[in-house]
Chains A and B, each alone.
Chain A
Amino acid sequence: MIDVSGVELGYGAQVVLSEVSFRSGKGEFLGIVGPNGSGKTTLLKAIARLLMPSHGVILLDGKETGAFSAIGLSRLVGLVPQASSPGFDYSVRDVVMMGRYPHIGMFGGETPADRDAAKKAMDVTGIAPLAERSVREISGGELQRVIIARALAQEPEVLLLDEATAHLDLGHQVSILQMIRDLSRRVAVIGVFHDLNHAAYFCDRIILIHDHRILAMGDPAGVLTEENIARVFGVRAIVRMNPLSGRLVISPVLHPSCEAVKDSRVHVICGGGEGAGILVALRDRGYRVTAGVLSLNDSDYLAAEALGIPCLTEPPFCPISEGSRRDLELLTGDADAIVVTRGPWGAGNIENLRVLSALDAGTIVIMGIASWDGMNWDYTGGEAEGILCSLREKGARVADDVPAALAAVREITGEKK
């Protein structure tokens, strides 16, 4: 139904996008993502014929967009622009009703069908209570919903959304995108997104624009890869599958300055999500950091991997093997400092602590020991507690929180130098 082929777009002599080709149609929610100024909005404008391509053609139902009359095109294509600024105090109802213009035409009058469509659009966007308010008195998010309602009242076959939910609160973002996703079973929806998570969650297919061209196109998992995100946005991100939704979750890594600049290496023995904080902090201070042994399904492993920290691992639910134990002995024996976080310790990972008994307690920092009392952290029948207590007696440092642990590490590595 929408067939964009070989399109080049620009303003005057400046080319914004070139060699753009794709097809979309009824039943698909197509997302467009890319950095600021990459031409996402320009592409939407071209489909809505607010801008004519300098090369290539855009076909709607097999007919070139340029061949439609203004009103004929508006029955087919609805656009929710990025921002709207109504000049006068029209009521919310009036503005939504303007969405019916393509069906009413120049000399027609409003029919009950027009009023029904407008009412329905106001209901699903939750703006019915605002119907009599002036569009200049309502909030930015409310206005955005009014404009979405206007486009819905238009009952187009192609709905174009230019960051249509950017100003909405979380609840309305989700409910409106959900509603549009349901709508996309009957009409073609093309949306520009800045929020990659929204794009990944709601879109069937994603176009990633980079350097004036389509860099990748396809299902979210194929397009929103860590490599593509790093290349296009210049940001390291972790892309994971959310087990609850079965959709991708993209989290930018907020500590991009994690190049190891210090010579000292710190090994972290952690597990159960207790290690992420100290891993990030050590990496941030420029230490060379290693971790493990960790189970592959431990969230500390995910954190270490995301931070690019080398890690000894075991498959999920497996005890530490003889091989891993030897690797751990090598890693810890060679480390300048070792941080041990709060448990839990059990048959699967007690080997991590047993290794420590052979080491110089002066290089070890034990975290969170003060809050261990009364906690269920030792599932080894007292062995873990025994090891840690004896380490403490032999001179291991104790730190209650991340800053204290950092200070202890600084002391140890400073002493060594």
Chain B
Amino acid sequence: MSWRRSGVILLLLACLLGASIVICTLVGPAGVPLLSLAGDESGATILYGVRLPRVISAVLVGAGLAAAGVVMQGLFRNSMADPYLLGTSAGGALGAATAIVLLGGAFSMPLAFAGCIGAAFLVYGISRRAGRVPVEQLLLTGIAVSMFLSAVLSFLMYIAGESLHQIFLWLMGGFWTASWQDAWTGLLVLPAAVPLLLLAREQDILSLGEEDALSLGVDIELLKKCLLVISSFVTAVAVSIAGSIGFIGLITPHIMRLWVGPGHRILLPSSMMAGGILLVLSDTLARTAGNEVPVGVVTAFFGAPFFVFLLRRRYAS
């Protein structure tokens, strides 16, 4: 992949992203005529107070999930890996549910964040042996921890009583309560992506295999630690804003790898932009045509069949 072609693709994605933001902000059930915006105060409130923060949140969450997906797929050398492998989604859900049941819904965002990070650290800690963290161990521990946390979550839901509905809504994931506070929180994704981009070459080498990477001079344990911390952080930001939205973190890197190749220097920024575009379009579809169905339903509805399509194509070739 030449630098020139990479530049063109990134530029194209940036234009698409800008266009998506503008269009998605303008589209909605309450028609806001653009030309009469100057004198229309309720229209301006809908645009700036409701739609714009929601659109920005969706873009940043999509970008974050895609970034975490790229990192996890590279780390596990498997394009079936997704950001929630380390138990982050179950941990976040448990955190939010705890806030809803015990605190009446207060602090659900910080607790969801803490749940994500806590689950990831638990998985990392359990997998660690003599300073090394084998990725197979991470994968299996992630599954076990997720199942355990889900069991605790089920128990919480069982005793939740009236707040069950609230937990349910959270679990489905979405942006209907998105505020400027969510959008600002989402901005944390961008500084976190900087070290990921700086570690692009190391991630390329790591995806050849750990021993190969080690003999090429990559400090793989340090690298894995950095990647796990950053991707858990980014995932936690995304989950605490919008719950566990599926398929964006799985499919976006997959599609972009087909388009721009596996090199992380291009794959990472292009996946982030594509993830933002996909999620904001899905959310717009959800709140307009879908009559406010949770966006997770939309991403899964389109994502799962598309994923099957990719799988079949892969085995066909």
Contacts and interface: CB of A to CB of B under 8 A. Distances in A.
Interface string A92-128: 0011001101101011000000000000000000000
Contacts of B216: 74, 98-99, 101-102, 150, 154
B205 A87 contact: no
A106 B202 contact: yes
B158 to A, nearest CB: 41
A101 B201 contact: yes
Contacts of B257: 88-89
Contact of A86 (B208, B218, B219, B261): B208
Contacts of A77: 215
B217 A71 contact: yes
B42 interface: no
Contacts of A91: 261
Contacts of B199: 106
B207 A87 contact: yes
Interface residues of B, number: 26
Contact of B205 (A45, A75, A98, A147): A98
Given A74-B216, A89-B262, A101 B205 contact: yes
B32 to A, nearest CB: 44
Interface in B188-239: 198-199, 201-202, 204-205, 207-209, 211-212, 214-220
A98 B208 contact: yes
Nearest to B214: A50
A69 B219 CA distance: 8
A70 interface: yes
B211 A81 contact: yes
Interface string A220-237: 000000000000000000
Contact of A89 (B74, B77, B198, B261): B261
Interface string A56-79: 000000000000011111110111
A79 to B, nearest CB: 4
Contacts of B220: 70
A84 interface: yes
Given A104-B201, A107-B198, A74 B217 contact: yes
B78 interface: yes
A90 interface: yes
Contacts of A289: none
B56 to A, nearest CB: 31
A88 B211 contact: no
Interface in B84-114: none
B263 interface: yes
A48 B215 contact: yes
A104 B257 CA distance: 25
Contact of A70 (B79, B198, B218): B218
Contact of A74 (B198, B204, B211, B215): B215
A49 B214 CA distance: 9
Given A101-B201, A104-B201, A106-B202, A86 B207 contact: yes
B208 A73 contact: no
A257 interface: no
A85 interface: yes
B217 A101 contact: yes
A50 B213 CA distance: 10
Interface in A255-301: none
A84 B217 contact: no
A102 B209 CA distance: 16
A146 B217 CA distance: 18
Contacts of B78: 87
A107 B202 CA distance: 10
A70 B214 contact: yes
B207 A88 contact: yes
A100 to B, nearest CB: 9
A20 B261 CA distance: 45
Contacts of B202: 106
Contacts of A154: 216
B112 to A, nearest CB: 32
A71 B220 CA distance: 11
A77 B78 CA distance: 28
Contacts of A78: 215
Given A71-B218, A90-B204, 17 more contacts: A50-B214, A71-B219, A75-B217, A77-B215, A81-B212, A86-B208, A87-B77, A87-B78, A89-B262, A90-B261, A94-B263, A99-B216, A101-B216, A102-B217, A106-B198, A147-B212, A154-B216
Q: Which 3 A-B pairs have the closest CB atoms?
A: A74-B217, A87-B77, A88-B262
Interface of B: 74, 77-79, 198-199, 201-202, 204-205, 207-209, 211-212, 214-220, 257, 261-263
Interface of A: 45, 48-50, 69-75, 77-79, 81, 84-91, 94-95, 98-99, 101-102, 104, 106-107, 147, 150, 154
